[in-house]
Structure 1
Amino acid sequence: MSSFDRRAVLKALARAAVALTAGQLPAASGAAAAEAGSGGRTVQTMEAFADTLIPGERRFAGDLPIAGAVSGPGAVQAGVIQTLTSQELPLAPLLPEIAALLNARAVAYAATHLVLLPITVPAFVGLPFRHRTALVRGLFGHEEPDRVIWQMFSLLTGLAFDTAAHLDTRQALATGHPGLTWLGFPPPDPDGLWRFPDHSYGRALAALHPATTASGSPA
């Protein structure tokens, strides 16, 4: 990836970080959603990357992006592609370049480790799971020039599974989001709000300030 392209990606990731901080990840745009459902090489590559970080079981026989290393849902089932193509994140146009970068790294890895890659799928998808894991581990090395890119994509992968970032939380729970269901995320109270009456430490750590308002805000 050229320095200009790297700057473009980093600027997009910075905007993504702002969107994440604001909690604004609407559903994918029509074009992005269509690409996400097309099973194209870019999507396959990004699915394989996400499945390396949070593995899941295959969706169907011959599902190559998902290695099937574990049972249960993983990042792909949890909607990682929908998260990456959310309208608020300016990443969708850059995904082909990022996937190409990852596949180039996979080709180099395969050459140095004598791994024979199939020609019918993207190079990273063609790597066995243990080699995918070894390659991805190396992407986070301190000497890796594109380390921040992979760190951000790892964050987005985690958010897709742990928080259903591309969906409203109530909607995600109502539709049985795989990640939230797997984690046992609690449903809201009947009025749609979450309250946590039980202290996480089993006891109150401080007395309630007498000036605290009914909404829980300080006076």
Structure 2
Amino acid sequence: MTGPDRRSILKALVTTLAGLSVGGLETPAAAAVDASDASESWTTQTLEAFADTLIPGQRRFPGDVAVAGAVAGPGAVQAGAVGLLHSPELPVAPLLPAIAALLDARAVAYAALRLIWLPPTLPPFVGLPFSDRTALVGGLFDPDDPDRPIWQVLSLLVGLAFDTAGQQDTVEALGQGHPGLTWLHFPEPDPDGMWRFPDFSYGRQLAALHPNTTASGSPA
């Protein structure tokens, strides 16, 4: 691949993942992708199509080509996965064109081997039918694929955006009706914004609470 090497891309993706895991993104608005801004560039369209292949959703507007509309309900794109990646606060943002170009190159090779016509006005990956997008993405995770670590970490980021609203404070995300958390019926916190679980996972208490445990549940 040309441009940034695989090591640089993977390092940026892992750093982004680590930053999100400790709440490193402080601007929830950066994760939202407005329909009027969607598909404004080939990079964005390609990343949207990749995210939609992993966690499909319904089309956002008539003529939406990046989101295939394979299912009803929200998917990764509606949950802000691509907006999260584009956030200028994250180190992966400058490398997204290289990542998208790599995926589009794989789409060209896939289509050529199968004699699939790709519309010249769309990024190659976006031009693939959904079934072929799925087949191509599945192959990206083959153990022998040299770019496999890139797609693995990118997929983790897409999943975090949908499953946990990792780019936002969880309480705020629920209050704003985050598509992923709402679809998954993520439980609401207690009135003070904390989550408590009164029922023991194993049906019984396995250990006594340490006497110096703080009111927030943290160890002494």
Structure 1 residue 74, shift from structure 2 partner: 0.3
Task: Output the amino acid matched with 2:7.
Answer: R
Count how many residue pairs are aligned between Structure 1 and Structure 2.
217
Q: 2:162 touches 2:180 (CA, 8 Å); kept in 1?
A: yes
Task: Output the amino acid matched with 1:21.
Answer: S
> Take 2:29 and 2:212, find their aligned partners in 1: how far apart are those partners?
46
Q: 1:48 touches 1:125 (CA, 8 Å); kept in 2?
A: yes
Q: Does residue 1:180 correspond to 2:186, yes or no?
A: no
Task: Output the amino acid matched with 1:42.
Answer: T
Q: Does residue 1:128 correspond to 2:162, yes or no?
A: no
Structure 1 residue 204, shift from structure 2 partner: 2.5
Larger displacement relative to structure 2 (162-171 or 42-51): 162-171
TM-score normalised by the chain length of structure 1: 0.89
1:46-80 CA-to-partner distances (Å, cap 9, x unmatched) read 00000000000111122111111111100000001
> Take 1:199 and 1:44, find their aligned partners in 2: how far apart are those partners?
45
Task: Output the amino acid matched with 1:16.
Answer: T
Structure 1 residue 19, shift from structure 2 partner: 0.8
> Take 2:168 and 2:203, find their aligned partners in 1: how far apart are those partners?
32
For residues 42-121 of structure 1, the aligned pairs below 5 Å read: 42-121=43-122
Structure 1 residue 105, shift from structure 2 partner: 0.3
CA RMSD of aligned residues (A): 2.3
Task: Output the amino acid matched with 2:141.
Answer: F
Q: 1:29 touches 1:86 (CA, 8 Å); kept in 2?
A: no
Q: Does residue 1:41 correspond to 2:31, yes or no?
A: no
Cα 1:68/1:4, change in 2 over 3 Å: closer
Q: 2:79 touches 2:165 (CA, 8 Å); kept in 1?
A: yes
Larger displacement relative to structure 2 (93-102 or 205-214): 205-214
Cα 1:171/1:23, change in 2 over 3 Å: same
> Take 1:61 and 1:33, find their aligned partners in 2: how far apart are those partners?
16
Q: 1:164 touches 1:177 (CA, 8 Å); kept in 2?
A: yes
> Take 1:181 and 1:79, find their aligned partners in 2: how far apart are those partners?
13
Cα 1:27/1:200, change in 2 over 3 Å: same
Q: Does residue 1:144 correspond to 2:145, yes or no?
A: yes
Q: 1:79 touches 1:161 (CA, 8 Å); kept in 2?
A: yes
Larger displacement relative to structure 2 (84-93 or 43-52): 84-93
Secondary structure at the aligned position of 2:5 is classed as helix
1:61-120 CA-to-partner distances (Å, cap 9, x unmatched) read 221111111111000000011211234421111111111110010000001112111111
Q: 1:10 touches 1:149 (CA, 8 Å); kept in 2?
A: yes
Task: Output the amino acid matched with 1:20.
Answer: L
> Take 2:153 and 2:109, find their aligned partners in 1: how far apart are those partners?
23
Task: Output the amino acid matched with 1:37.
Answer: D
Structure 1 residue 8, shift from structure 2 partner: 2.0
Structure 2 unaligned runs (5+)?
Answer: none
